[in-house]
Amino acid sequence: MTSDSDLIKDTAEELDEDKKNVQDNPLFGLQDAQVKAVTALLDAGKDAKKPLQGLLDEMRNADIADLFAKLHTDQRENLINQHGESFDPNVYAEIDHDLRPEIIDLLPTEQVANIVDELDSDDALDLIISLEEERQDEIIRQLSAKTRMELKEGLNFPEDSAGRLMQREFVAIPQFWTVGKTIDYLRAAAEEIPDEFFDIFVITPTYHVAGEIPLSRLIKAKRSEKLESLTLDDIHAIPADSDQEDVARIFRRENIASAPVVDDNGRLIGVVTVDDVIHVIDEEAEEDFLKLGGIEEDDLYRAVLSTTGSRFRWLFVNLLTAIFASMVIALFETTIEKVVALAILMPIVASMGGNAGTQALTVAVRALSTKELTRSNTMRIIWKETLVGFINGALFAILIGAAATLWFQDIMLGGVIAAAMIINLLIAGLFGAGIPIMLDRMGSDPAISSTVILTTATDVIGFFAFLGLAALLLV
């Protein structure tokens, strides 16, 4: 059996060698050399527990969370069994949302309850939400009364709302206090206030937000100054039932680090901070990206059969649309038999139309998700994308028309594919921008079904234009 000293020596040498080829900076995240070292020590068994603990102690919480994603299932289990109790609670809050249930299920309920009790309220709620309902109930029963009440209230808010996103730990000060009294209070109540905060909220006796004061402004003010004179001109109070996408837009537009969350009566109940908003932006961007590819949710850590089933539905829809496009081709079977070159050139028209349409569609879906596309500029955007499609169509028509003429020694064939290229790219620009806007007006998510509709339209119109013109002019 390999001794601890040999393992330390071997892994240290491998780390030193690998770090020569990577950016050795912890801010750049987990390195492959570290993953290799952890894997080797895990495979070595319990004799390597001490050197492995030393290696884990050198990692940041986010790095350990990433480490779980890089390990095999049995290695994750070994890591939890040997070192799970030594991890900072924030490690479990950082683990990938889809992978988290698998990791949490390896821990005893009492240990998970202790982890949740130590987390900030927003992180605790996010961890609980990721678990199955039965597992949630088991853990909640083990929590302190305060944490249990906060989680149950948080679970009552709509999914993806500010109420689910907010942190219940914040600093609220009566509006009649002075700067000096506020600073003295913050020092005396150091254990009761959040470890990190960006703004102080000035409140009325009824707990309504009267103003916001950035911490930097408070520190620079004189002790005798009244808080009322330091408050910002604008109050960024966010209703608890606001959608998290709207919250992210407020942060981006107002350039703020935190914002108060209020209930239906306007009373302060929590705060949303910029670190949570960054996660929201990542989640929403990832969600739209996956939907454009016909994937309902991130399935990187899902089982093979589950992943296959979720993707099969969209592939089946694509099959039906492909059959529809093939039926259009079948209408011109006789034409294709007489002019075999048409079969060679058809994919070019369809491919160019699909790619051009996807470009316009991507711009439109992004503009809709960021609220940059409104009723006031809808027609201008559609017209622009249509014009771009027409111009690109004309330019590529010249290229492909000349190439087809030289290739098949037939100027009429070159003219046919050139005309079809213009028509299809013009339609691609029009439909690429128009389809997501139409779906959005109908109340449907444009990121989900736009791609399928667009591909069908560009294929059908491209084939029909190309083969129809060929039937009229070449046969």
DSSP state of 270: E
Q: What is the spatial distance between Cα 475 and Cα 469, in angstroms, rounded to a whole number?
A: 10
Looking at the fold, whether 256 and 352 belong to one and the same domain comes out as no
Cβ proximity of 372 and 437 under 8 Å: no
Q: What is the spatial distance between Cα 167 and Cα 152, in angstroms, rounded to a whole number?
A: 14
Q: What is the spatial distance between Cα 264 and Cα 393, in angstroms, rounded to a whole number?
A: 54
Looking at the fold, whether 146 and 182 belong to one and the same domain comes out as no
pLDDT one-digit tens code per residue, 275-284: 888 888 877 7
Looking at the fold, whether 8 and 79 belong to one and the same domain comes out as yes
Last residue of a domain, one of 159, 191, 222: 159
Q: Looking at residue 1, what is its pLDDT? A: 46
Kindly provide the residue ranges of all beta strands, DSSP E only, lying in 132-267, ordered along the sequence.
172-174, 199-203, 209-214, 238-239, 258-262
Q: Looking at residue 327, what is its pLDDT? A: 86
Domain membership flag for residue 386: yes
Q: Looking at residue 6, what is its pLDDT? A: 55
Looking at the fold, whether 202 and 264 belong to one and the same domain comes out as yes
Looking at the fold, whether 423 and 334 belong to one and the same domain comes out as yes
Q: Looking at residue 310, what is its pLDDT? A: 64
Domain membership flag for residue 401: yes
Q: Looking at residue 21, what is its pLDDT? A: 46
Domain membership flag for residue 426: yes
Domain count, the chain: 3
User: In which residue ranges of the chain is pLDDT below 70?
Assistant: 1-28, 285-307, 309-311, 314, 475
Looking at the fold, whether 446 and 345 belong to one and the same domain comes out as yes
Looking at the fold, whether 318 and 450 belong to one and the same domain comes out as yes
Domain membership flag for residue 271: yes
Domain membership flag for residue 292: no
Predicted TM-score (pTM) of this structure: 0.68
Question: Range of 154's domain?
Answer: 4-159
Looking at the fold, whether 339 and 459 belong to one and the same domain comes out as yes
Looking at the fold, whether 32 and 143 belong to one and the same domain comes out as yes
Residue with tokens 């850590």: 301
Looking at residue 256, its amino acid is: I
Q: Looking at residue 22, what is its pLDDT? A: 43
Looking at the fold, whether 155 and 176 belong to one and the same domain comes out as no
pLDDT one-digit tens code per residue, 187-245: 998 888 888 889 999 999 999 999 999 999 999 999 999 998 898 888 899 999 999 98
Q: Which of these, 126, 174, 173, lies nearest to 150 by C-alpha position?
A: 126
Q: What is the secondary structure of 362-401 as a DSSP string?
A: HHHHHHHHTT---TTTHHHHHHHHHHHHHHHHHHHHHHHH
